[in-house]
Amino acid sequence: MKKNLTTKILEAHLINGSLIPGSEISIRIDHTLLQDATGTMAMLEFIAMGLPRVKVGLAAQYIDHNLLQTDYKNADDHAFLTSAAMKFGVHLSKPGNGVSHQVHLERFGIPGCTLLGADSHSPTAAGISVLAIGAGGLDVALAMAGHPFNLPCPKVMGIKLTGSLPDWVSGKDVILEMLRRHTVSGGVGKVIEYYGPGVATLSATDRATIGNMGAELGATSSIFPSDERTRQFLVSQGRGADWQPMAADEGAEYDECDEIDLSALEPLIACPSSPDNVVPVREVAGIKVDQVIVGSSVNSSYRDLMSVCRIMEGNRVAPGVHFHVNPGSRQALENVAQDGGLLMLLMAGVSIHQSGCLGCIGMGQAPGTDQVSLRTFPRNFPGRSGTKNDKVYLCSPETAAASGLSGVITDPRTLGKNRPYPAVQNPETYLIDDSSIIFPLEDSSAVEIKTGPNIVPFPDFEALPDSLQVGVVITLGDNITTDHIMPAGNKVLPLRSNIPAISEHVFEQVDADFPARALATGNGIVVAGENYGQGSSREHAALAPRYLGIRAKIVKSFARIHKANLVNFGIVPLVFKSPDDLKLFHQGDQVSIPDIRRLVEGGANEIPVFVNNREVITLLEVSDRQRQELLAGGTLNFVKQSHQ
């Protein structure tokens, strides 16, 4: 049987289950990735397991999100993560060394490996043929402890690429075209696998851009073959020995198929406020621009940054435009500097920042009221920038640079009338500096873990009761993101290790009274529409509501990672059997779910819910393992009970 690449990698890592789409499988994880916004809680969860050292091939902890030191909290978290990483055998990338995904691509990723990351953009590693999956912090902590990762077996969507990109069009436009065609839910339950003759025309960093924003499709992961371009990148990183060729068999079958002629693409842009609100740049050209940002977790490689440098060379940013560059890694910044790029940016009036996530996660760089911001970031969900009612567009570095020079949204192809296209290639050999990575100690017995006052122990949660009497705390519509549920930004992110404090911000952008109302309700539920919980992997979007007493969520459909996180913290994820039943629920309604423990334990798929004297049938679509975790009140409780 001719196999696609996804199937080959999954088969090589399969521990339990069968590769039947939708059925639960367990796979071995080779690498784990934590960043500081998720790592503080994940490390506390790992510590709660009582193990002396990680049991995964390579574990990495990055400090790239909470880089603003507005008070002691972030600095304390960094000290905690550094000492915990040294104690438990985890690689530690220090603040300023770079965004987790870019650094892992450069220094650690190996073709054919599996990576589990506590960040939804972990599939950036697709750039070098790593099957990387985003997950909640608890799932990553379990993988660090040597447990397999459990997930519904994904379908594989094959995307055949032909042709080659025209000048002024780049990898960003490929993934924007995917979002235009398939929307933010088009990849749910799927791995997006790229193949075909057009793949060879894309660099490893272009592929990384496409893999990164596969998360915006809702995809489980994305993957590219490991070919000569992969080998070139690893050789340039001094890691040529890590390369091995990997590809789908000729004529391999896919569950779904699509084809993109790269030569037919044009510059694209995602308009406010969703990554799939995509149109050609020419259709919105002329809109005044106030802010431009290049970089963060996507489009922050050497090729992306140096392309902007070449476009800016000898020119000045338009008056009234604030232009920022956020390098993806110290390595990318050092190599741009070596080739004269920094002077080009400085002479053009560009602000250059440290390597990190920064404005992408709402850590500074918020636009002003009613200002238009063009960003090469992966997301433009409402308010994610830190400004309410923001107007954020997503585009390529080429479009960002052209618009920054003109002061209005500009199709970069218009620049070709006066200058040649800067066909920048990645270096044959990178300037490499690993001095900002702390490698695991052979003997860590003398290391003491440092904790500050913002590090609060993981809360205890009780088991699922026999029946639930709950109040409807809030009702919501479709495409509610984890940013809606648990905001990011410099006010909230520093509280990631303090669940009582961070819970005060749940649904802050939607309904500021939610936390108080949830606590007053006692046991509560949330009711919503399609694709609930799309976006980031942040487990706090499940953990903080659970702390506030939310015991179930009833929606039309869930995003994959958020649904798994709900189970991890003992919140029952129910789906309307009849979507029209959503309109029967209103804020303040009292709801009864009788015999829920017996139904969950007995394997029932249909869970009757009673609201206003009416019976509504909901579906509990979870595995047998997840049922046991729900009964225990969450995964950590279940793991502790299993070890007793």
Q: What is the DSSP code string of 588-630?
A: T-EEEETTHHHHHHTT-SEEEEEETTEEEEEE----HHHHHHH
Q: What does residue 528 show for φ and ψ, rounded to 5 degrees?
A: -155, 180
Q: Is the pLDDT of residue 644 over 60?
A: no
User: What mean pLDDT comes out for the span 427-442?
Assistant: 95
Q: Quick one: average pLDDT of 338-355?
A: 96
The average pLDDT across 95-101 equals 95
Q: Tell me the one-letter amino acid at 330.
A: R
**What is the pLDDT, as a whole number, of residue 37?**
86
pLDDT tens by residue, 45-90: 899 888 999 999 999 999 998 888 888 888 899 999 999 999 999 9
In angstroms, the CA 384 to CA 482 distance is 10
DSSP state of 532: B
What 3 state SS string does 153-182 have? CCEEEEEEEECCCCCCCCHHHHHHHHHHHH
Tell me what pLDDT residue 363 has: 81
Q: In angstroms, rounded to a whole number, what is the distance separating the alpha carbons of residues 179 and 143?
A: 31
Strand-pair category, 91-93 with 437-438: antiparallel
Q: What is the mean pLDDT of residues 385-402?
A: 94
Residue 497 CA: distances (Å) to CA of 158, 458, 606: 40, 8, 36
Tell me what the mean pLDDT of segment 3-21 comes to.
97
Distance between the two ends of the chain, CA-based, in angstroms?
A: 44
Residue matched to tokens 């990680």: 54
pLDDT score at 564: 92
Task: Report how far residue 244's alpha carbon sits from residue 5's, in angstroms, rounded to the nearest whole number.
Answer: 13
Cα 570 to Cα 547: distance, rounded to the nearest angstrom: 10
DSSP 3-state of 210? helix
pLDDT at 332: 96
CATH 3.20.19.10 given to domain 468-643 = yes
Q: What is the pLDDT of residue 639?
A: 84
CB atoms closer than 10 angstroms to residue 69: 12
pLDDT tens digit sequence for 584-610: 999 999 999 999 999 999 999 999 999
Q: Are 615 and 608 in contact (CB under 8 A)?
A: yes
What sections of 370-493 are H helices per DSSP?
397-406, 482-485
Q: Report residue 261 as tokens.
A: 């002629």
Give the Cα separation of 390 and 448 in Å (integer): 44
Summarize pLDDT for 138-165 with one digit per residue, the tens: 999 999 999 999 999 999 999 999 999 9
Q: Read off the amino acid at residue 39.
A: G
| pLDDT higher than 80, residue 642 | no
pLDDT for residue 643:
63
Query: Average pLDDT in the 1-28 region?
Result: 96
Q: Which CATH architecture has domain 268-417?
A: 2-Layer Sandwich (3.30)
In the chain, which segments carry CATH 3.20.19.10?
Answer: 468-643
> Could you give phi then psi for residue 609, rounded to 5 degrees?
-125, 135
What average pLDDT does this structure show over 94-104? 96
Name the β-bridge partners of 66: none
Task: Report the alpha-carbon distance of residue 430 to residue 99 in Å, rounded.
Answer: 17
Give the model's pLDDT for residue 405. 97
pLDDT (0 to 100) of residue 535: 83
> Where do the CATH 3.30.499.10 domains begin and end in the chain?
5-264, 268-417
Decide: 554 and 527 in contact? Cβ < 8 Å.
Answer: yes
Residues with Cβ within 8 Å of residue 85, at least 6 apart in sequence: 43, 61, 91, 92, 438, 440
Q: Is it the case that residue 120 has pLDDT exceeding 80?
A: yes
487 band by pLDDT with thresholds 50, 70 and 90: confident
The torsion angles phi and psi of 354, rounded to 5 degrees, stand at -70, 160
Residue that the structure tokens 């334990």 belong to: 601
- Confidence check: pLDDT of 293 > 90: yes
Tell me the HSE value of 307 on the side-chain side, using a 13 A CA sphere: 28
- pLDDT value at 490 more than 80: no
pLDDT recorded at residue 276: 97
Helix, strand, or coil (residue 498): coil
Mean local confidence (pLDDT), 182-190: 94
Q: Which residues, in sequence order, are bridge partners of residue 221?
A: 191
Per-residue 3-state assignment (H helix, E strand, C coil) for 334-375: HHHHHCCHHHHHHHHCCEECCECCHHHHCCCCCCCCCCEEEE
pLDDT in tens, 466-482: 999 999 999 999 999 99
Sign of CA dihedral 82, 86, 90, 91: positive
CB 411 within 8 A of CB 58: no
- What CATH number labels 5-264? 3.30.499.10
**Residue 444: burial class (beta carbons within 10 Å; 0-12, 13-18, 19+):** middle
Mean pLDDT of 211-216: 96
Q: With beta carbons less than 8 A apart as the criterion, state whether 128 and 109 touch.
A: yes
Dist. CA 90–CA 108, nearest whole Å: 13
Question: What is the per-residue pLDDT across 449-467, written as a single tens digit (0 to 9) for each?
Answer: 998 888 887 788 999 999 9
Give the amino acid at 118.
A
DSSP 263: G
**Would you tell me how many other CB atoms lie within 10 Å of the CB of residue 173?**
28
Of 185-199, 246-260, 280-294, 626-640, the least confident:
626-640
Confidence of residue 496 (pLDDT cuts 50, 70, 90): confident
Cα 204 to the center of its chain, rounded Å? 19
